[in-house]
Structure 1
């Protein structure tokens, strides 16, 4: 009886069965090992075939790379030649452009140097002008200082205004067209009288403008001092305008308007800007405030009126001469008529003479047309 080794699912397993099972397991293991070896050999063969294919593919790639390298070498040589040609062309072009730029730069520098020299010359001329202007300014400064010293003195200040007015009038009118410091019928003596044309009354011009009051106004520093100076200047102007109207406006002897001369344009402008009431009071009193430019304009108007009067006088003389000329022309016309009648008679006589000469001519032609026999021998053989 065989010994039971163990039970499997209630089936007893003996030694023989165990040996058979072990042999079967060994055979199955051997089969599996052989199959594994076969698969490994197949994989090695496949790997060898793959490596061979890869090697062939690498050889093809190497061949392609060699061909591409040779093509790249040819292209690089071609590109090198092209780059060499382009580089030489570019170098030549750059050389030409650099030369042209150098020429333009030299030309521009020459022009710039010329213009700079001209500018420096003009600058030197202007500096010379500025030097002369500075010299003139220095002279004017000295004159202004002397003018300030003049204006500081009341008598010299009045002489200054009188001098400017007399210069303007003397420059614009003839010597018989004005009078300075003339005496009127009321024994007043205005600074100037301008004689109007056609026996019209003279125009009175006064140059005693209250400059001292204006100077106090310009020297005032505080608002109270300015107001006080303005009040004093306004009062002085009003008094002076009233004095001009009372002394110089004489019916039948002077014009019904007088001029009050202001020797400065700035004072005149400031007077109209800050003291309009004074200007209006003067206008109501028939006193016109004039600056140097307005006085010059008024003198030019008077000069034009005088010129017009002279032209009218000359026109009357010309009219008389024209009337006498017309009388002479009428007498000439009568004498020409008489001469015409004499010419008509002479023409009739000349026509009769022409008729007689015509008859004589026709008779001569008839005589010339007659044929006479020439009995004298011929002088030509």
Structure 2
């Protein structure tokens, strides 16, 4: 056992030491194997526990999933029922909406049809009006042609101007404020004489107007022809202005001015634009040239003057009536004062009567409070009875 088997450097290795070393090695290996087995067993037990825990958790999760599935199934059934109910309500609502829409569409179509029918009837009426207007236009065209023929004739033109002037004056003034074709003191007869309130002198309105020169002036071609026509217009106008001033301006009988009526606004515009010198000379001759609109304006002013004069005339009558009314009011006031005095006297009399009755009542109460013998009381009652009164009546 002590024999050397192997030298390890300077250290001799014997069989005993070798056996001890091998035994120690075997024990070490056995210990290691044991430890490894115990570790393996612990790991397997841990894995088994982990597996069991995982299985338990899996079972819990499956149970939870089963519960959730059952809840989802119930909720799905509830949702299906609610959806079915809502679907029926939705279908009913859609049906009602469709019915309402159809009703509104039907009403809209009916209203549109009625509106279109009304528009067509109005269109027919307007077409009838247009036809009537066309007819009137044709008639007016014929009247214009006839008016042209009238204006081409001097006498007809004078009658036309006279008629238009008379229409304007008749529309604006009362019948007593004007006179057509009167005879003046110099035996001249103006077309119209307007009498203003508060003035005996009349305002002369002449309706005769020289139109030939204006016609030539408008139809003139070239400067020379236009100049000749303008000269004729000036000559005719000044002659007519002179005739009016000499014939119709009579001191003390007519106004200081006279009016020359132009029957057309266009003629008056041409006269004011191209013949201002004629207008100024007419003004200096105290002759005012007026168009239909200016004559209507002047007539309105005269109408206001006539109305004011009538108001002043009626104002005196109103003042007299107001004075009489004031006198009646004064008499009524005196009578009311007398009646009030009577009422006051009556109130005083009633107050005196109330005082007397109060005194009588108080004395009756005092008499009631007095004590009488039975005989005296009976005698007093008999006396009151004989006199036709009672104690209560006295009270």
Using structure 1 for the length normalisation, give the TM-score: 0.63
What do residues 88-122 of structure 1 show as CA deviations (whole Å, max 9, x unaligned)?
A: xxxxxxxxxxxxxxx9xx99xx7999988777666
Q: 1:160 to 1:353 in 2, by over 3 A?
A: same
2:356 counterpart residue number: 356
Q: Secondary structure at the match of 2:289?
A: strand
Matched residues in 1 for 2:367 and 2:189: separation? 109
1:378 counterpart residue number: none
Matched residues in 2 for 1:114 and 1:345: separation? 82
Shift of 1:307: 1.0
Q: 1:328 to 1:121 in 2, by over 3 A?
A: closer
Alignment of 1:207-246 (within 5 A): 207-246=207-246
Q: 1:115 to 1:361 in 2, by over 3 A?
A: same
What do residues 126-159 of structure 1 show as CA deviations (whole Å, max 9, x unaligned)?
A: 4433322211110001101111111121111101
Q: 1:359 to 1:145 in 2, by over 3 A?
A: same
Matched residues in 2 for 1:293 and 1:132: separation? 29
Q: Secondary structure at the match of 1:203?
A: strand
Q: Secondary structure at the match of 1:255?
A: strand
Taking only aligned residues, the RMSD between alpha carbons, in angstroms, comes to 3.1
Q: 1:348 to 1:266 in 2, by over 3 A?
A: same
Q: Does 1:135 align with 2:130?
A: no
2:91 counterpart residue number: none
Q: 1:213 to 1:368 in 2, by over 3 A?
A: farther
Matched residues in 1 for 2:310 and 2:327: separation? 26
2:180 counterpart residue number: 180
2:278 counterpart residue number: 278
What do residues 251-298 of structure 1 show as CA deviations (whole Å, max 9, x unaligned)?
A: 221111111101111111121111111111111211111111211121
Shift of 1:161: 0.4
Shift of 1:195: 1.1
Matched residues in 2 for 1:357 and 1:255: separation? 89
2:154 counterpart residue number: 154
Q: 1:113 to 1:332 in 2, by over 3 A?
A: closer
Matched residues in 2 for 1:301 and 1:171: separation? 13
Shift of 1:163: 0.8
Matched residues in 1 for 2:344 and 2:123: separation? 86
Q: 1:364 to 1:285 in 2, by over 3 A?
A: farther
Q: Secondary structure at the match of 1:183?
A: coil
**Once structures 1 and 2 are overlaid, which stretch shifts more, 323-332 or 274-283?**
323-332
Q: Secondary structure at the match of 1:185?
A: coil
Matched residues in 1 for 2:366 and 2:264: separation? 108
Q: 1:211 to 1:367 in 2, by over 3 A?
A: farther
Matched residues in 2 for 1:349 and 1:123: separation? 88
Q: 1:273 to 1:366 in 2, by over 3 A?
A: farther
Shift of 1:199: 3.2
Q: 1:358 to 1:153 in 2, by over 3 A?
A: same
1:298 counterpart residue number: 298
Using structure 2 for the length normalisation, give the TM-score: 0.61
**Once structures 1 and 2 are overlaid, which stretch shifts more, 249-258 or 210-219?**
210-219
Matched residues in 1 for 2:123 and 2:342: separation? 86
2:169 counterpart residue number: 169
What do residues 297-333 of structure 1 show as CA deviations (whole Å, max 9, x unaligned)?
A: 2112211111111111111111112222223333333
Matched residues in 1 for 2:120 and 2:274: separation? 49
2:324 counterpart residue number: 324
Matched residues in 2 for 1:307 and 1:324: separation? 26
Q: Secondary structure at the match of 2:254?
A: coil
Q: 1:368 to 1:232 in 2, by over 3 A?
A: farther
Q: 1:370 to 1:169 in 2, by over 3 A?
A: farther
Matched residues in 2 for 1:210 and 1:163: separation? 16
Matched residues in 2 for 1:369 and 1:220: separation? 134
Matched residues in 2 for 1:364 and 1:264: separation? 108
**Once structures 1 and 2 are overlaid, which stretch shifts more, 324-333 or 273-282?**
324-333
